Amino acid sequence: NAGVTQTPKFRVLKTGQSMTLLCAQDMNHEYMYWYRQDPGMGLRLIHYSVGEGTTAKGEVPDGYNVSRLKKQNFLLGLESAAPSQTSVYFCASRNPDTEAFFGQGTRLTVV
């Protein structure tokens, strides 16, 4: 049982490049989330989804887009990366009556 898997684990981007982070869960969870973690700021919610085909903005959505075409996958896109997007990104999933399960994180550096 893999749980929540994030791909890739590490990435270095140049300013202006684009990329997509993939989150896959095998627990048939309804809700999925993307957070970013920065020193001294905890985890901040970027976007989330409460079901296949739905997405919504979190606290810090600017510069990111998401899609949930399949229930098990939640993609986070950066169209034009900026140094301010250097961070560790975490995906999480849960059902309404369960706690959140987290992936191992993606460490992104934008130079």
Please report, as ranges, the residues that interact with another protein according to CB under 8 A.
4, 31, 33, 35, 40-45, 48, 50, 56, 58, 90, 92, 96, 99-100, 102-105
Q: Two tokens at 90?
A: 């975490």
Closest approach of another protein to the CB of residue 26, in Å: 15
Nearer to another protein, 14 or 99 (CB): 99
Nearer to another protein, 57 or 70 (CB): 57
Nearer to another protein, 58 or 63 (CB): 58
Read off the amino acid at residue 51.
G
CA triplet 35, 44, 12: central angle to 5 degrees?
55
Q: Two tokens at 28?
A: 């048939």
Q: Give the contacts of 40 (CB within 8 A, at least 6 positions apart).
A: none
